[in-house]
Structure 1
Amino acid sequence: MPLVVLCGRPGSGKSRRAAELREALGGAGRAAHVVTEAAGGRAALRAGVQRLLNRRDVVIADAGNEARSIRYELHCAARQAGTASCLLLCRGGRDGPDLPPFEAPDPRDRWDRPLLALREDEPLPLDAVRAALFESDAPAPRRSTRPQPLRSGAFLHGLDRLTQDVLAAVLAAQRDGALPGEPLPVPGVPEGLVLSRHVGLAELSRLRRQFISYAKMQPGEENLPQLASMFVQYLSRSIQ
């Protein structure tokens, strides 16, 4: 039944931890399955996890899961199955411009908790993992994890337009010489946006796509001014 989501940079020991978890958590009457990010990538990982989640077995997602949006999707899969889950961050590993950007887990986000972290030379925190998986109440599925009706065309157009306008304002302010730490004027958000560093179009576009996917899954939320503020907060927290 429970889901363990591994998270970390390449070379941080995730596969070794997955093998340790499978050995420790499997047993009589309960199997422990490891799902890896194979050729199908993110979609295949999510499909494999959803296929194996049940009321008895443990599922271990062995992948980098470097993006918040990936971890959110796995969190929703666990909620939809009515099962507990936890996130195990493997610290260390490799970093570099040729690798995907790593968005570190934030325990303030519900999809990143309970968060357990360890270095490569530390023992697996099995007591904490077992407590998170077997001693906590299984969450009731939220409305956002259930299939939702298609959004109206007007809402989707408005969401696309407002997020594009925010990106355009950020890029224009940076071109005009705005420095990190200065409030950037953003349409519809009086407090503006404060960034800690200069951000390029590619990174902003990626974060915009992630936010749109998130916003589409929020049932009944079609308040575009409120979503503009949420998008600004999302950018502020994602760009460190």
Structure 2
Amino acid sequence: MAASAQIAVARATAAGGVGDPSGSSRPRRPGQNGGGAGAGRRMPLVVLCGRPGSGKSRRAAELRAALGGPERQAHVVAEAEGGRAALRAEVERRLSRRDVVIVDAGNELRSIRYELYCVARQAGTARCLLHCAGGPGGPDEPPFEAPDPRNRWDRPLFTVHGEEPLPLAAIRGALFESTPPPPHRATRTQPLQSSSFLHHLDRVTQEVLAAVMAAQRSGAQPGEVVRVPGVAEGLVLNRPVSMAELSRLRRQFISYTKMQPSDENLPQLASMFLQYLSRSIQ
């Protein structure tokens, strides 16, 4: 194994991502803890990140061939129309007790990798991050925030350079032989704290959608600021947005917001929804 891959494995082991955290030396069959139809957890998630030209798509194909087989399929999630929200929705849809999900899209930013970390933790599945180092770079390339193994959402972390082989044994250990962390209170669905919260959330998000659609019908051009009554900041639409897309984003926002309901957030719900739309509509 190349030196850089050994370093990556060491980092992952130190972070608790490889092997059985209980310290048990009992061998396990490949796919145990997540392969069979009767398993109590979902199959794992592999997130790839790296600069353009670093070989992510080639590595995703290698992982798909190595992790798939008679017992399970491996799906590669690439770029999806609808941006960040659509990517997350596709990952959530693909996660199952039978298949491995490999994400080869939109993972240049820490915030996106954190969202996928939350998806995996909420689903109770193991995950790992593969950093494809290198790439030509250049002034016109999109920003890239390199993973840091000190961040829980960036570990277990494996790094590969150029043509060196993937550390497949260590990756399989992280995915199939480790115990995923339990869902955190912040990612576990909670009962509503207030009977009025859901009603207010539904009404506010409907009002925001109505304002956005009304602005588009009135001839708002890409780049103009859409104003919502009672909200200080506006929404800059860089492209036309259909009602179907807005409704899908609204459902996702409601689902995420219900995880941490709080009457203290009621005055900020419209602003929070506008910020969510701004991040999701690229």
Give TM-score, length-normalised by structure 1.
0.61
1:20 aligns with 2:62: yes
Task: Give the aligned partner of residue 46 of structure 1.
Answer: 88
SS at match of 2:46: strand
Distance 2:188 2:81 in 1: 27
Report which of the two structures shows the higher radius of gyration computed on alpha carbons.
2
SS at match of 2:122: helix
Alignment of 1:223-234 (within 5 A): none
Task: Give the aligned partner of residue 107 of structure 2.
Answer: 65
Q: Which whole-Å deviations, capped at 9, do the CAs of 1:111-144 have from their partners, x for residues lacking one?
A: 0000000012110110111011001002211111
SS at match of 1:83: coil
Q: Is the 8 A contact 2:189 2:260 kept in 1?
A: no
How far is 1:97 from its partner?
A: 2.7
**Structure 2: unaligned runs, 5 residues or longer:** 1-42, 201-256, 263-282
How far is 1:26 from its partner?
A: 0.5
Alignment of 1:1-240 (within 5 A): 1-147=43-189
Amino acid at match of 1:129: I
Aligned residues: 161
How far is 1:98 from its partner?
A: 1.9
Give the RMSD, CA atoms, in angstroms.
2.6
* Cα distance change of structure 1 residues 119 and 137 upon mapping to structure 2, 3 Å threshold: same
* Cα distance change of structure 1 residues 17 and 49 upon mapping to structure 2, 3 Å threshold: same
How far is 1:40 from its partner?
A: 2.5
Distance 1:90 1:217 in 2: 35
Q: Is the 8 A contact 2:189 2:259 kept in 1?
A: no
Distance 2:101 2:75 in 1: 5
Q: Is the 8 A contact 1:42 1:70 kept in 2?
A: yes
SS at match of 1:143: coil
How far is 1:101 from its partner?
A: 1.1
* Greater share of residues in strand: 1
Q: Which whole-Å deviations, capped at 9, do the CAs of 1:49-68 have from their partners, x for residues lacking one?
A: 11011122100001241110
Q: Which whole-Å deviations, capped at 9, do the CAs of 1:215-234 have from their partners, x for residues lacking one?
A: x899599xxxxxxxxxxxxx
How far is 1:96 from its partner?
A: 2.5
Q: Is the 8 A contact 1:10 1:64 kept in 2?
A: no
Q: Which whole-Å deviations, capped at 9, do the CAs of 1:130-171 have from their partners, x for residues lacking one?
A: 011001002211111134667x9xxxxxxxxxxxxxxxxxxx
* Cα distance change of structure 1 residues 72 and 8 upon mapping to structure 2, 3 Å threshold: same
Greater CA drift, 48-57 or 84-93: 48-57
Give TM-score, length-normalised by structure 2.
0.52
Amino acid at match of 1:39: E
Greater CA drift, 13-22 or 96-105: 96-105
Greater RCO structure (CA 8 Å; 6+ sep): 2
Distance 1:33 1:50 in 2: 12
Distance 1:105 1:56 in 2: 28
